[in-house]
Amino acid sequence: MNPPTIIINEDHWIAGVQRDPIATSREMPVRRCVVNHFTGGATGTSSIGAMRQCGVSAHVVIDRDGTITQCVPFNRAAAHAGVSRWRDPKTGTLYTFGNTFAIGIEIANAGSDPGALTWARKQPGFASIRARHANGGAVLEWECFPAAQIEAVTALNEALVQRYNLDDVTGHDCIAAERKDDPGPAFPMQAIREACGFSGLPEVHRA
Ligand SMILES: [Zn+2]
């Protein structure tokens, strides 16, 4: 299967993908990195509903089959990162509160959530690993990300880095390591970073 071609329009929406807009009040004039997340839930649609109910948001949600849904245009701030820290690897500048500079991608995946794993195990193609998170904790079961989903995630990270000249691709568990475990040990972070022109793993920041 060929990876999807992603074109980002002048209005900061991806061409030709489905939209499920979540209104946000703030502009995001500066974009510096992509933060990848897992939803810790069932379908992408169910997680968009849950985000709306909780008053949070991400720019894009990517389902297990690679379906992309955009919720927030890339020139508006989405509420996905919360209290967090990130050092720009190109300039050395330390930033806090990722929502003001980071594009957020939510990836439909159970993570290690027992309830979500019970749902995910019943889906065709389910696979999981047992691993300890790099940030510590017990050895847990983590849902694997299907190939079609990772192809879409990789293509979107690449398209965003190119379009906005971003300096980093990271994860929520790297910018808020003291409280977050997503996208976790099953996520091929290094391979996605390499596809985007970066090397190794992201710097990990704790409060
Ligand atoms: Zn997250």
First to last CA, the chain: 41
Helix runs in the chain, H state only = 44-54, 114-121, 147-164, 172-175, 189-195
CA 34 / ligand 1 centre spacing (Å): 12
Q: Which amino acid is at 185?
A: P
CA 145 / ligand 1 centre spacing (Å): 15
Catalytic residue IDs: 106
Per-residue pLDDT of the chain (207 residues; tens, 9 = 90+): 456 789 999 999 999 999 999 999 899 989 999 999 999 999 999 999 999 999 999 999 999 999 999 999 999 999 999 999 999 999 999 999 899 999 999 999 999 999 999 999 999 999 999 999 999 999 999 999 999 999 999 999 999 999 999 999 999 999 999 999 999 999 999 999 999 999 999 999 988
Domains in the chain, ordered, with CATH? 19-195 (3.40.80.10)
CA 182 / ligand 1 centre spacing (Å): 5
CA 9 / ligand 1 centre spacing (Å): 26
This prediction's pTM: 0.97
| Phi, psi dihedrals of residue 194, rounded to the nearest 5° | -65, -40
SS3 of the chain: helix, strand, coil, percent, to 5: 25, 25, 50
CA 8 / ligand 1 centre spacing (Å): 23
> For residues 106 and 62, is the Cβ–Cβ distance under 8 A?
yes
> For residues 153 and 192, is the Cβ–Cβ distance under 8 A?
yes
Residue with tokens 């989903």: 149
Pick the closest to residue 145 from 54, 38, 51, 67 (CA basis): 38
Supply the pLDDT for residue 207: 81
Supply the pLDDT for residue 92: 96
